[in-house]
């Protein structure tokens, strides 16, 4: 190629839409360029691509400075040449042509002979970016944008290639491990027939043969062919028919069936037709027909069960882990067994269910600590209760058998300010306080500097409730002291909770009528048994109904004692 062949680069840039390349070079990069580049940027790309294909960017000096300095944004040629001389090397990056290479001006009018500066492709691009003009800024932005597109395209191509390699490796692995299969030519075609025994009404034989007439001739002379169907796999068809008609199969005779009327016989014939029609859908004599069936039925787009399960698991953000205190608690699940995240506490909670009871194992700052607590308690149960709980897989962690619920209870007891029930110590005022909880409300009994005295007051009130209202408070064990019941609570007469209840089962006080109501709960409904002037009469009415239900409905209602 002539190193001084001239290229009108400006005209090439201005008249080169990228769509001209798209028909020949349908690549991902071209589509991206069309979507993201401006028209000017697309023209730059095409011109650059054209020169890349047709010229050597270093040795072919094909761009005339006279043709491009104004397009680059220079006001005159001199500044363009100074920029060229400053940043580039003559005879390497550009060449100045005189005498023989350029036609000289022979007119004697005092003018200078013309000098022509020719640039190679690489120098022209560099001059465009170093010019410091508005056009040079646009060109720099073009190259930055092009670099970004190239990086994105390379990344996509790399990922696509990686996927292709993975798929290819899977195919290779399948081929390497492929066993010998029967193929689509292994089926034995023929006929499945229905013959009847004239000597035994209702007796029919369903069998298979390649030639039914010959087969019937070889059978008993009392047999004659009643019906037949042609199938591509006689064994599969016969086995299917036999299995479906098993209710009519004669015991001890594999191929013989008994149809007691025409309806049953018509059912058998209809079944043979429908099974034949269904199985013929899968009559693939070649692999091409198999692939044709797969394509026509859009089987390749069907998802495998493990894909559906994986997608379902990814979509689950929250789950109902346990039902606690009659309510459903929605907590974020963890990756470990027995661990979930408590939104209320903003901590990880460890739990283990044993004998239908949930054992709380504590709150932890990290999910891993909660999983370790679960493993410790599960190990304790496996060793002591012969259970078989599965442990979480935690690298480099050896579980320690710990009865966490029992240890926690002991720690709570040790943290109490008094060893007696219903007694606590007020550290600010330096005295003991005695209190009791009744009807979901706490009542203060006394304050005393003597801890034992507070425990005695608690015992008296607790025994009073046990005797009068059937409660089950446990008393403190106080040496050399015999507890006697005594009420230390002074209730407001208008709000006295003791007046609103009764010590008998199924009895309550009706506030408005000032009478005792007898009731019983049956099938989750409260049955009203009447109003009475005394709680004993109401209790007797309850007992009568409870006995009736215990006898007739196999219930176990508790009875009042008087």
Q: Where are the CATH 3.30.730.10 domain residues in the chain?
A: 325-413, 416-492
Q: Helix, strand or coil for residue 472?
A: coil
pLDDT for residue 322: 37
Give the strands of the sheet with 507-510, arranged side by side: 507-510, 515-522, 525-532
Distance between CA atoms of 189 and 290, rounded to whole angstroms?
Answer: 18
Q: List phi, psi (to 5°) of 49.
A: -70, -40
CATH topology of domain 502-552: GCC-box Binding Domain (3.30.730)
CA-to-CA separations, 214 to 167, 191, 208, 225, in angstroms, rounded = 53, 12, 12, 11
372-380: Cβ within 8 A, 24+ apart: 372/397, 372/399, 373/404, 374/336, 374/337, 374/338, 374/339, 374/350, 375/399, 376/400, 376/401, 376/402, 376/404, 377/350, 377/352, 377/402, 377/403, 377/404, 377/405, 378/338, 378/352, 380/404
What confidence score (pLDDT) does residue 339 get? Answer: 92
Q: Output the pLDDT for position 333.
A: 62
Instruction: Please report the beta strands in 37-123, taking only residues with DSSP state E, as ranges in sequence order.
Output: 61-64, 94-97, 116-120
Mean pLDDT by 10 residues, the chain (562 residues): 52 54 53 72 67 78 86 88 90 79 50 74 87 85 80 80 83 71 79 86 89 76 81 89 93 90 93 90 84 83 68 47 35 76 88 88 92 94 90 91 87 69 84 88 90 93 89 90 89 53 82 84 85 90 91 85 83
Q: Which of 326, 359, 331 is nearest to 345 (CA)?
A: 331
CB-count burial class (<10 Å; 0-12, 13-18, 19+) for 126: middle
The whole-number pLDDT of residue 329 equals 37
Query: Residues 410, 388: contact at Cβ < 8 Å?
Result: no
Through-space distance between the first and last CA atoms of the chain, rounded to whole angstroms: 125
Q: How far apart are CA 192 and CA 269, in angstroms?
A: 11
Domain covering 416-492, topology: GCC-box Binding Domain (3.30.730)
- Distance of alpha carbon 426 from its chain centroid, rounded? 52
- d(C-alpha 160, C-alpha 198), whole Å: 71
CATH class given for the domain over 325-413: alpha beta
Three-class secondary structure of residue 561 per DSSP:
coil
DSSP state string for 406-431: HHHHHHHHHHSS-SSTTEEEETTTTE
Dihedral through CA 231, CA 232, CA 234, CA 237, nearest 10?
A: -70
Using alpha carbons, select from 135, 99, 96 the residue that is nearest to residue 118: 96
Rounded to the nearest 5°, which phi and psi values hold at 17?
-75, 145
CA distances in angstroms from 431 to 422, 425, 449, 481, listed in the order given = 14, 6, 5, 22
Find the helix or strand (DSSP H, E) in which 290 lies.
Answer: helix 287-296
Measure the CA–CA gap between 361 and 381, rounded to whole angstroms. 13
d(CA 292, CA 285): 12
Q: Which two tokens stand for residue 93?
A: 């990056």
7-15 long-range contacts, CB within 8 A, separation 24+: 7/51, 7/55, 7/62, 7/63, 8/67, 9/47, 9/51, 9/63, 9/67, 9/68, 9/124, 10/67, 10/68, 10/71, 12/46, 12/47, 12/50, 12/51, 13/43, 13/44, 13/46, 13/47, 14/43, 15/43
Could you tell me which residues come within 8 angstroms of residue 484 by beta carbon, excluding any fewer than 6 positions away?
460, 463
């Amino acid at each position: 190629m002539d190193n001084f062949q001239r290229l009108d680069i400006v005209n090439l840039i201005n008249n080169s839409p990228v769509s001209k390349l798209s028909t020949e070079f349908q690549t991902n990069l071209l589509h991206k360029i069309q979507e993201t580049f401006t028209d000017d940027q697309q023209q730059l790309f095409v011109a650059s691509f054209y020169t890349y294909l047709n010229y050597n960017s270093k040795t072919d000096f094909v761009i005339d400075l006279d043709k491009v300095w104004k397009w680059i944004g220079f006001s005159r040629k001199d500044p363009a040449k100074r920029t060229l001389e400053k940043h580039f090397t003559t005879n390497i990056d550009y060449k100045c042509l005189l005498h023989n290479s350029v036609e000289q001006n022979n007119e004697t009018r005092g003018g200078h002979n013309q000098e022509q500066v020719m640039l190679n492709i690489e120098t022209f691009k560099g001059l465009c970016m170093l010019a410091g003009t508005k056009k040079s800024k646009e060109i720099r932005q073009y190259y930055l944008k092009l670099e970004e597109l190239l990086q994105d395209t390379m990344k996509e191509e790399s990922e696509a290639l990686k996927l292709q390699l993975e798929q290819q490796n899977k195919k290779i692995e399948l081929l390497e491990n492929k066993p010998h299969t029967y193929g689509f030519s292994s089926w034995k075609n023929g006929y499945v027939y229905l013959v009847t025994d004239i000597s035994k009404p209702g007796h029919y034989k369903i069998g298979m043969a390649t030639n039914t007439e010959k087969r019937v001739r070889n059978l008993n002379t009392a047999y004659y062919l009643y019906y037949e169907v042609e199938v591509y796999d006689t064994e599969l068809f016969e086995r299917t028919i036999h299995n479906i008609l098993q209710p009519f199969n004669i015991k001890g005779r594999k191929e013989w069936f008994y149809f007691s009327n025409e309806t049953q016989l018509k059912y058998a014939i209809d079944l043979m037709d429908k099974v034949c029609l269904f199985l013929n859908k899968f009559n693939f004599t070649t692999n091409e027909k198999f692939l044709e069936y797969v394509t026509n039925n859009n089987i390749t787009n069907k998802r495998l069960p493990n894909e559906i399960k994986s997608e379902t698991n990814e979509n689950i953000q929250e789950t109902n882990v346990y039902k606690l205190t009659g309510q459903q608690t929605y907590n974020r699940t963890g990756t470990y067994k027995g661990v979930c995240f408590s939104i209320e506490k903003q901590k990880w909670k460890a739990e283990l269910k044993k004998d239908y009871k949930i054992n709380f194992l504590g709150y932890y700052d990290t999910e891993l600590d909660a999983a370790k607590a679960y493993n410790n308690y599960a190990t304790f149960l496996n060793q002591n209760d012969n259970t078989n709980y599965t442990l979480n897989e935690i690298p480099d962690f050896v579980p320690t058998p710990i009865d966490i619920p029992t240890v926690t209870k002991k720690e709570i007891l040790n943290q109490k300010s008094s060893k007696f029930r219903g007694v606590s110590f007020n550290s600010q005022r330096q005295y003991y306080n005695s209190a009791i909880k009744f009807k979901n409300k706490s009542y203060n009994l006394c304050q005393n500097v003597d801890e034992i005295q507070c425990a005695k007051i608690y015992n008296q009130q607790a025994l009073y409730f046990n005797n009068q209202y059937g409660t089950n408070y446990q008393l403190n064990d106080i040496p050399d002291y015999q507890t006697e019941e005594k009420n230390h609570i002074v209730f407001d007469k208008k709000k006295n909770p003791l007046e609103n209840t009764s010590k008998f089962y199924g009895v309550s006080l009706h506030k408005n009528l000032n009478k005792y109501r007898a009731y019983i709960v049956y099938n989750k409904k409260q049955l009203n048994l009447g109003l009475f002037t005394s709680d004993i009469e109401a209790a007797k009415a309850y007992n009568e109904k409870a006995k009736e239900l215990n006898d007739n409905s196999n219930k176990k209602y508790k009875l009042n004692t008087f």
